Amino acid sequence: MAIETLNPATGELIKKFEAHTAEEVKHKIDLAEEAFQSWRNSSFEERAKHMEKQADILENEAEKYGRIISLEMGKPLKSAIAEVKKCATVCRYYAENAASFMADEEIASGASRSLISYEPLGVVLAIMPWNFPFWQVYRFLAPALMAGNVGLLKHASNVPQCALAIEEIVRHAGFPDNVFQSLLIGSKEVDAVIGHPHVKAVTLTGSELAGSKVAEKAGQEIKKTVLELGGSDAFIVLDDADLEQAAEMAVKSRMVNTGQSCIAAKRFIVVESIADDFLQRFKQKMQALKTGNPLEEDIDYGPMARKDLAEELEKQVQDSVKHGAEIVLDGGREGNSNAYFKPMILKNVKPGMPAYEEEMFGPVAAVMIVKDEEEAIRVANDSRYGLGGAVWTKDRARGLRVAKRVETGAMFVNAMVASSPEMPFGGIKKSGYGRELSYLGIREFVNQKSIWID
Ligand code: NDP
pLDDT of residue 391: 98
The pTM of the full predicted model, rounded to 2 decimals, is: 0.98
Is the separation of the CB atoms in 363 and 254 below 8 Å? yes
Atom index in ligand 1 nearest the CA of residue 313 equals 32
Same domain as 41, residue 60: yes
Q: What is the CATH number of the domain that holds 261?
A: 3.40.309.10
**426 in a structural domain:** no
Taking the chain (454 residues) in runs of 10, the rounded mean pLDDT of each run is: 94 97 98 98 98 98 98 97 98 98 98 98 98 98 98 98 98 98 98 98 98 98 97 98 98 98 98 98 98 94 97 98 98 89 98 98 98 98 98 98 98 98 98 98 98 98
Q: What is the CATH number of the domain that holds 21?
A: 3.40.605.10
Same domain as 327, residue 294: yes
Tell me how far apart the alpha carbons of residues 368 and 365 are, in angstroms, rounded to a whole number.
Answer: 10
Same domain as 237, residue 123: no
Same domain as 258, residue 346: yes
**108 in a structural domain:** yes
359 is catalytic: no
Quote the ligand 1 centre to 2 CA distance (angstroms).
14
pLDDT of residue 335: 79
Same domain as 219, residue 86: yes
**262 in a structural domain:** yes
Domain count, the chain: 2
Q: Which of 33, 72, 83, 228 is catalytic?
A: 228
Choose the residue to mutate in 83, 207, 209, 383 for probing ligand 1, maximizing ligand atoms within 8 Å of C-beta: 207
**217 in a structural domain:** yes
Same domain as 131, residue 112: yes
The H or E element that residue 270 is part of is: strand 265-271
Handedness of CA 373, 378, 379, 380 (dihedral sign): positive
Tell me how far apart the alpha carbons of residues 77 and 171 are, in angstroms, rounded to a whole number.
Answer: 25
pLDDT of residue 76: 97
262 is catalytic: yes
Quote the ligand 1 centre to 41 CA distance (angstroms).
34
Q: Which of 70, 81, 84, 79 is nearest to 10 (CA)?
A: 70
pLDDT of residue 334: 85
Q: Which of 262, 359, 436, 444 is catalytic?
A: 262
Quote the ligand 1 centre to 75 CA distance (angstroms).
18
Collapsed DSSP state (helix, strand, coil) of residue 16? strand
Q: Which domain holds residue 264?
A: 233-420
Residues contacting residue 209 through CB under 8 Å, at least 6 positions apart: none
Quote the ligand 1 centre to 238 CA distance (angstroms).
34
Q: What is the DSSP string of 95-151?
A: HHHHHHHTS-EEE-SSSSEEEEEEEE-SEEEEE--SSSTTHHHHHHHHHHHHHT-EE
Same domain as 76, residue 146: yes
Same domain as 159, residue 47: yes
Same domain as 247, residue 212: no
The pocket around ligand 1, CB under 6 angstroms, is made up of 1, 127-129, 131, 154-157, 186-187, 190, 205-207, 210, 213-214, 228-230, 262, 309, 359, 361
Same domain as 412, residue 439: no
One-letter amino acid for residue 95 of the chain: A
**193 in a structural domain:** yes
pLDDT of residue 31: 98
Q: Which of 334, 266, 267 is nearest to 304 (CA)?
A: 334
Same domain as 415, residue 448: no
Same domain as 269, residue 183: no
Is the separation of the CB atoms in 66 and 106 below 8 Å? no
Is the separation of the CB atoms in 140 and 126 below 8 Å? yes
**425 in a structural domain:** no
**287 in a structural domain:** yes
